[in-house]
């Protein structure tokens, strides 16, 4: 990993809320994720940070003319807030 990538990853601190059965249904889960060093309550934080480091724009919106079954394929929803690469 380059020095710049390490610095940017270090400024990653996320709060993740997951509704496995959709909002309004029981089973909501919340996690935190920090990178460099990897930590937080998200299982396999080191793996998650490594994967985020490899992606150019992991939180980019899906283009409007693209169909994606992961968006329309079920009730699952997640909300990710916080700082990613210093933003």
Inter-CA distances, 27 with 7, 41, 65, Å: 35, 16, 32
pLDDT at 9 over 60: no
DSSP per position, 52-82: HHH-S-TTPPPPTT---HHHHSSS-EEEEEE
Mean pLDDT of 31-35: 96
Interval 58-74: pLDDT, tens: 888 878 887 766 655 67
Provide the pLDDT confidence category of residue 7 given band limits of 50, 70 and 90: low
Neighbours of 19 (CB within 10 A): 17
**Residue 72 and residue 10: Cα distance in Å, rounded?**
33
pLDDT at 73: 65
């Amino acid at each position: 990993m380059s020095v710049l990538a390490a610095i940017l990853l270090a400024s990653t601190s996320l709060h993740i809320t997951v509704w496995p059965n959709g909002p309004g249904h029981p089973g909501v889960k919340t996690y935190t994720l920090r990178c460099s060093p990897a930590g937080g309550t998200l299982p396999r934080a080191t793996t998650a940070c490594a994967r985020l480091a490899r992606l150019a724009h992991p939180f980019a919106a899906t283009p409007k003319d693209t169909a994606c079954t992961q968006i329309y394929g079920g009730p699952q929803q997640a909300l990710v807030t916080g700082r990613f690469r210093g933003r």
